[in-house]
Every structure is written in C-alpha cells, then in structure tokens.
Amino acid sequence: MIDYLTFVLLIGGGGFFLAGTVGLVRFPDVYSRLHALTKADNVGLGLMVAGLAVQAESWAVVGKLLLIWMLVLLAGASVSYLVAQGALQRRIRPWQR
Amino acid sequence: MNAAFFYAIAGVVLFSLGLHALIMHRHLLRKILALNVMGSGVFLMLAALAKRTGTTIPDPVPHAMVITGIVVAVAATALALVLMLRLSAATGHAVLPDEEHE
Amino acid sequence: MATLTTVGLIIDALLALGLMGLAWRVLANPDLFKAIVLFIAFGLVMALSWVRLEAPDIALAEAAIGAGLTGALLLGAFAKLRNAQTVAAVETSGTAHGTAHGIRSIALLIFILLLATGLGYVVWSLPAEDIGLSDAVAAHLDTSGVSNPVTAVLLNFRGYDTLLEMMVLLLALLGVWSLGDTAVHRESAPDPVLDTLSRTLTPLLILVAAYLLWAGAHAPGGAFQAGAVLAAAGVLLLLTGWRLPAALAAQPLRLVLVAGPAIFLALAVVTLLMEGRLLQFPPAWAGRLILVIETAATISIGVTLVALFRGAPPADEDRQ
C-alpha cells in the first residue's frame, strides 16, 4: 500500500521534472526558461521527497529529506535570480510577442 | 547480459572519444575537457567491472581507486588550467606553440 | 520482480547512452562555454551512473568534486581567458586545417576505432562474475576499525595510496601558486542575494561536512567527500568577494594546508617504528587513528581545493 503511494508520488514528481525540461527546451528566452525550470523542478522534487519520506524508517530521515528539499529551494531561487541579474546586465531583452 | 557491461563499454567509448578530441583539437581548454572525459571513461570502466561480484557487495578496492582518481584529476585539472592561462598570457593564444603555425 | 530488473536494465542502457551522447556533445560543440556547461551536466549524469553501479561513495565524490569543483574551475579559467583575448580567438575549436592534414585525421580516426574495438572486445570477453577482492576485504573488515568497506580500503588497507594522493594535492597547489600572479583584490559589495545565500549556507555546509566525515565510518561518506563540501563553502565565500585577512593568509593558512599530509605522514612513521610495517594500524587503535587522519585530511583537502580554485598565491609582505 505504502509502495503504491511512493510509486504515484515519484512518477508525479518525474512528470513535473519532464514539464520543466520541456519548458527549458521550448521557451523563447532565458527568463521564461528560468521560470519554468525553478518552479517545476521545486514541485517535482517536493513530490519525490514526499514519496521517499513515506518509505523512511525514522523521523530523522524525513527531516533530512525535508532539509534537502529546502536547500534545493533556496539554492534554486538564489541562482535563478543571479542568472537573471547577469542576463539583464548583458542587456538580454525579455521575449516580446 | 550484465548491466555492468553496458557501463564498461560506455567507459571504453568515452575513453576513445576523449583521446580523439585530445589529439584533434588545438585549443588547450578543449584538450583539458578531453582529458577529463578520458578520465571519466577509465573510472566508469573500473567501477563497472567492480560490480561483477555476483551477490555480495561490489568490490571496494576499485571504488577506492576511483575516488582517489577523481581527486587527483581535479588537482591535475587545476594545475593544467593555470598553465594554460600563463601560456595564453605569454603568447596571446591558448594554443601550444608548435601547433600554432599549422 | 522481473519487470523491475528489466526496467533497471533499460535505465542502465539509457544512462550509458546518455553519457556517450553527452561526451560527444561536450567534445564536439563549437561554443566553448556550452561545452563546459554540458561537461558539468555530464558529471551529474555520471553521479547517477555511480548510484546505479552501487557506488554511493563515488557518487558523492563525483557530484561534489567531479561536477561541481571541476566545473567551477573550468568556468573560472574560461572567464579569465575571455577577458584576456577577443571572443573570436577563444571560440576557435581549432581542428587541423588544410587538406594535407586530411590524411592525418583519417589515420587518427582509424587508430581510435581500432583501439576502441580492441578495448571493447577485451572488456566484453571478461568473465561475467569475478569476486575480485571483496571477499578479502569483507574477511578483514572487523580488524580495520570502520564498517564501511570503501573507507576501510581507502584509509587502512590501501592507506599508502591515500597518503600519496594528499601529497599530490599539495604538489598541485605548489604548482598553481608558483605559476599564478598575486591577484589584485578589488573591494566590491557582493549582490545581496549572493551574500545572504553564502551566510545561510556556509555554517550548514560545515555541519554537513562534519556529518559526512563522521558517517564515513559506517555509511557512504568519508574524508574526501567532506573535504569537497568544505571546499564548496569556501568557493561560495570566495565568490562573494570575501578574502582571508592578511594575518591569517601567511603562516596559519600554510599550516592548515600541510596539517593533513603531515599528520598522516607522522602516523605512518610512528607505525613504521612501532609495528615494523608502514601504516600498520593495531586493530584496537585503528578506528581512532582513522578518525584522526580523516579529520586532518578533511580540513586540509577543503582548504587545498579552495586555494586551487583561487589560483593566486596569498600576498606576502616579504615578496616584491
């Protein structure tokens, strides 16, 4: 029963990662790509962490998994901000239709 | 058909690709990239062949060798990059002097 | 469970193909920046392959050192190279020009193909099951002082290799320091996001490094992985513009750099004198000795890797 829950959560997380990657490949400029990447990957990782936390043996392991997710959120947000800053400094214009 | 052999063959291919690029490219940064890819190929071969133990744990000695190799590779890469920067500062191009006039 | 092994095989095949394809793109891409970024991605896919090959220690080391630190080194060198030259000169992939070299490139291609086929055939014809040394290691694991077989091999059974490896790291740093110019450091306020990130992450990274060091005795981890995490903290600090204060950058820095190899070497000499064999740890002391070596090694490796990333030697007062 727990295994099926893990299965569903992991596949769901993988689906979000796939969506983020499709966005990375198909979006027209760096800003929208960053948007797709960080948002989708954060949710995807959250679902995967949830799937693994269900299988964990103790609360300490769940805590460590949550810490990993928090760290990826923090790093992803900061790095995407820095990349967008760098792109603005290089005068890369956001895509206009 | 052991899964480990997939990775061993991939390691051979990586090594060959890296060797080809190492000889073909003139730019030193590409040569350094090629050396790193070659190193990764060797590590992949070592660790893949270490997995053939059957039911017990994989052979830990090649694993230790690969960890050592990764650290030595990063040290060598750092030294090679500084050498390349010095060469490019002295001659203006990041290319070995004997290959510059080909 | 048969479906699980087939899925596993498919994943392994996909990973192996992905590695080969990524390597091709890294080496054949005309844009050097893209090649370096693809190389970092290649390192991360390698880390996945290590997990599939049941080598979590290697996966940790590859993700931290192979993908992370090597990528940072390559990007830093690329930035310095691009600042010093015109963009056009940097982008030259520079394969041999002219038809006179056509024969040479075809000969090279044939040679590489023959080499690859020969190596592939040799690897394929190896026996499918080979116990290797895993039985020998498992038999002596309880006398080694740790319960992680890779740590036991690294620091006890093959401790001599690890001692030499730390000397190699130090040698590389000496080479980098003799070649680099003392860089001029311009004081500039770092971006507030980067500043906050480094303030939040640095203490956490130090904690994680200490945990990896401790866990290396019974779980995947160890001195090199912990040292790499420390190096990541140091690189992050360097990127915000922080530099070691001049008083600490002279003697104390050199002391810390040498401490790891020196303690290891001292222990090697002591064991040589007391037990008659180099690095022969008495089983009762082995666990504690390994912990001492690993702690010194972690700090030394972390600081050495950060110094390798920095490139320039610290400014000395007695240097012109």
pLDDT in tens, B14-47: 999 999 999 999 899 999 999 999 999 999 999 9
Residues spanned by the domain of A73: 2-89
The yes-or-no verdict on residue C85 having pLDDT over 60 is yes
pTM of the model: 0.92
Q: Does A68 touch chain C (CB under 8 A)?
A: no
Residue A8 resides in a domain: yes
Please report whether residue A96 resides in a domain: no
Q: C311 by DSSP, 3-state: which?
A: coil
Query: Is C82 in contact with B88 (CB distance < 8 Å)?
Result: no
Report whether pLDDT(C266) > 70.
Answer: yes
Tell the residue number behind the tokens 């070659």, with chain if given.
B38
Give the pLDDT score at B100: 60
Q: In this predicted structure, what is the pLDDT of residue C98?
A: 46
Q: What is the pLDDT, as a whole number, of residue C87?
A: 47
- Specify if A97 maps to a domain: no
Is pLDDT at C302 greater than 50 in this prediction?
Answer: yes
Nearest CA in chain B to C119: B12
Stretch C242-250: mean pLDDT: 80
Judged by CB atoms closer than 8 Å, whether chains meet at C58 and B36 is answered as no
Torsion of CA C42, C45, C47, C48, to 10 degrees: -170
Q: Show residues of chain A in contact with C191, CB under 8 Å.
A: 82, 85
pLDDT of residue B1: 54
Residue A18 to residue C312: CA distance in whole angstroms: 42
pLDDT of amino acid C223:
92
β partners of residue B95 = B27
Domain contains A24: yes
Amino acid at B20: H
Indicate whether A14 belongs to any domain.
yes
Mean pLDDT of chain C: 87
Evaluate whether B37 touches B68 at the Cβ level (below 8 Å). no
Instruction: Give the mean model confidence (pLDDT) for residues A65-69.
Output: 93
Q: Which of A72-81, B11-20, C103-112, C181-190 has the highest mean pLDDT?
A: B11-20
With a CB cutoff of 8 Å and minimum separation 6, the contacts of B23 are C108
Taking residue C218's Cβ as centre, other Cβ atoms within 10 Å add up to 11
Give a yes or no: residue A57 inside a domain: yes
Q: Can you give the pLDDT at residue A68?
A: 92
Chain position carrying tokens 């091709």: C24
Q: Given CB atoms, is A71 within the 8 Å cutoff of chain C?
A: yes
Is position A28 within any domain?
A: yes
Our count of domains for chain A comes to: 1
Whether the pLDDT of residue C93 is over 90: the answer is no
What does the pLDDT read at residue B56?
75
Residue A27 lies in a domain: yes
Q: Is the CB of B14 less than 8 angstroms away from the CB of C153?
A: no
Query: Do B61 and C133 lie within an 8 Å CB cutoff?
Result: yes
User: Which residues on chain C are in Cβ contact (under 8 Å) with A85?
Assistant: 191, 193
B94 to C27: CB separation less than 8 angstroms, yes or no: no
Whether chain C has a CB inside 8 Å of the CB on B87: the answer is no
- C19, C27, C222 member nearest B10 (Cβ): C19
